[in-house]
Chain A
Amino acid sequence: MASHLLKRSIRNPNIKKHLFSSTFLSSIHQIPNPTNQNSLDLIAANTCSFGTTKNPRRIHQNYLVKIQSFSSQAAVTTDELQTTDGLTVDQITANQWPILDETEGDWKSHASAVAQSIQLIKKRLQWKKLVMRLQMLTIQLNKPDLWDDPVHAGKISREHGSLMGKMKEVNGFERELLEHIDMLKLAREENDGELELESLKALLKMRRSAKEKELKAMLAGEHDPCSCFIEVQAGAGGTESMDWASMVMNMYKSWGQRRGYGVTVVDEMAGEVAGIKRATIKVDGEYAFGYAKAEVGTHRLVRISPFDSGKRRHTSFAAVAVTPILGDVSAQVQINESDLRIERFRSGGAGGQHANVTDSAVRIVHIPTGVTACCQNERSQHQNKAMAMSVLQSRLDQLEMARQAQMNAQHTQSLTDNSWGNQIRSYVLHPYRMVKDLRTNYEVSDPDSVLEGDLDDFILSYLSAFMDKDEDDMS
């Protein structure tokens, strides 16, 4: 769109003159064009270093023009973007232009809605922290001895690239908004109705894509795009809570299937009478971890237990843990083979030629941490072992992430720090019917649909509440 406008405006000599005097000239060639990209591309741009930009130097140039003496550290110094007449995103929202319906064709409405979205996105990305972190990483990247430790260096440059990508995208979006406003005002001055209409359309398009971006900003965590394991464990209380644990597990299975994720049972330990003592499923697909992490904690059920002959009301608990499956091997915790104890699970008897078994369950214990992982649903022992290893890897990675998050608490606030004991949601089937999230107070009166996997509203309301609560994180 931007390049189109440029071409279009160059035909009009007056506009050309204006354009060249505007402050955004230096950046006009490199504006990412988010409105034409689909959301997956945006995510890709977020996660890989420098995204789709062909010439990384260009990003720096934009800032270097102004503060040349700062070397590349200046790359993260954000000057406030503004239109030719000095309008900024903050001012737009401060103006409190009424936001009318999209169909109204009112540019101020569009601009105001987009500006609000930009502010929300920045808040969700913890903008101030992001900028500070980026500055810190840039300083580290400029150290001459950085590559003495290639593993550390790789980590630093990966994170730098990913944060840079995020910043670039938001800045690009912001710049695009201001340019369209400029263009629109210009068109009005020049009485160019066609250009005005075009700018208005562009603003509307931005307004529509902004909602999508808001959502994506909620899933901006480093590991959010990963697949994950979900583990459910029954609380104390015998059969009733084991039944509840299997209801919770079924809820996640159908949630995953509804979202189009691949769902496989890795490990399941049945209860004696009904339900499960614990179970682990693998949820395969983009952003599975980003969403599912909102479910970590204890889930509480109140109902008249079908297992109680006295028809009394029971309260039971099930604990949910979610761990990411890191795609990037270099980001994974190194596991020392000698730290592992690998055993046949539920084995007995002479084995070997004596026994015909179809159950070749494997349990792996990581001796230093005591973390264990089992798998029994694959068809060969070899595959069970491989799957158990991947569960173990995921659990150890999660432990390490929690440890790291504690170390630099100012940077990442880990959602999954929620301890197992933390009660997050209540499902009441009797005497009234309701599901209520204790963290957000979001509630619905139809427990059946929730238990059938209709969880997205709970997840999104929690993610947005978590992301939007901290006012200080705004830029």
Chain B
Amino acid sequence: METDNGPEVSTLCREIQWLLQDVVVEAEQRGEGVVKLRAEMDQLYILWNQRIEKRKPFQYIVGCEHWRDLVLCVQDGVLIPRPETEKIVELVEEVVGKDEGLREGLWADLGTGSGALAIAIGKVLRTRGKVIATDLSPIAASVAEFNVKRHGLQDKVEIRQGSWLEPLEDAKGKLAGLVSNPPYIPSGQISGLQAEVGKHEPRLALDGGENGMDDLLHLCEGAASMLKPGGFFAFETNGENQSKFLVNFMQNCPKSKFQDVRIVADFAGIERFVTGFCQ
């Protein structure tokens, strides 16, 4: 049924511990010997069975993902934020640390999914700084909205449903920063993905067209008109090939408006991100 070998025992053991962590209601008084659960035992059994038999992602089972210092709700139909993507927040922190103007500016997260990047960046910005996050999927938009409220950031982060830059007409040329983790997997590789991803996560958030770069290129072109001079962008890519292609594209296209375009690797050493500034 699956082309991969499935999760390792040690991984499953850790997941079971976390499942219990999430399901046990913290007792007011310890030592009573009574443990309150948020779900019935047989319900837990069904859930875990889905994890093992159906290879349902653990994060969908418990309904949340721990990402940076945030706990984000996720459900079927919303991409589970990846650990690699945490790095984009660090890159933004670095940039706004050097330029307070950017910290007070308007930012955009395109294809926000659960709202992870938008929320984390919203927490980095100062009083006047704001984030607008867009997503084509209504489910993603509503989950992101929920997560924003959960973190009490309604005044800082605004969710708009729509395709990429379309809901941002009013912000044209005004953005201090633009980040995105768009779908970048080549269509041909979707069927061979790890079962947790290929069979459960939304294709809309994964499939980047024939060479995986449809959306990345669309965003690069859009970024030039959306960013204000000195504005910062960061995109996540599939790795070395896509990153190099993008850098080449941005530096050599005749009407390029970008500078300091560079590639940043993730912790696994894969050239994962492309960042730069608008001239």
Contacts and interface: CB of A to CB of B under 8 A. Distances in A.
Interface of A: 270, 342-344, 347, 350-360, 362, 377-383
Nearest to A382: B68
B90 to A, nearest CB: 9
A256 to B, nearest CB: 16
A351 B205 CA distance: 15
Chain A, interface SS category: loop
A353 B10 contact: no
A382 B57 CA distance: 20
A358 B269 contact: no
B214 interface: no
Given A350-B239, A353-B184, A358-B14, A381 B86 contact: yes
Given A344-B268, A352-B236, A352-B272, A357 B83 contact: yes
Most buried by B among A342, A378, A383: A383
B60 to A, nearest CB: 10
Contacts of B70: 380
Contact of B86 (A347, A350, A353, A382): A382
A380 B10 contact: no
A135 to B, nearest CB: 46
Contacts of A358: 11, 14-15, 18, 58-59
Most buried by A among B83, B181, B184, B238: B83
A115 B40 CA distance: 63
Contacts, number: 91
Interface in B80-104: 80, 82-84, 86
B196 interface: yes
Nearest to A385: B267
Contacts of A351: 82, 84, 239, 266, 268, 270, 272
A343 B268 contact: yes
A250 to B, nearest CB: 16
Contacts of A382: 67-69, 86
B178 interface: no
Interface size class of B (residues with CB under 8 A): 35 or more
A380 B201 contact: no
Contacts of B184: 352-353
A378 B185 CA distance: 28
A362 B14 contact: no
Given A347-B268, A351-B270, A356 B11 contact: no
B161 interface: no
B206 A353 contact: yes
Contact of B83 (A270, A343, A350, A380): A380
A347 B197 CA distance: 17
A381 B268 CA distance: 12
A354 B185 contact: yes
B193 interface: yes
Contacts of B59: 356, 358
B14 A380 contact: no
B194 interface: yes
Interface string B188-201: 01000110110001
B129 interface: no
B239 A352 contact: yes
A351 B269 CA distance: 11
Contacts of A377: 14
A339 B151 CA distance: 35
Most buried by A among B84, B184, B270: B84
A298 to B, nearest CB: 27
Given A342-B267, A380-B68, A381-B83, A353 B196 contact: no
B197 A354 contact: yes
A30 B194 CA distance: 73
7 contacts: A270-B10, A351-B270, A352-B84, A352-B266, A352-B272, A356-B196, A383-B69
B267 A343 contact: yes
Given A353-B183, A356-B194, A358-B14, 20 more contacts: A270-B10, A347-B268, A350-B238, A351-B84, A351-B239, A351-B268, A352-B84, A352-B270, A353-B205, A354-B189, A354-B194, A354-B197, A356-B196, A359-B14, A360-B83, A378-B66, A380-B83, A381-B86, A382-B69, A383-B66
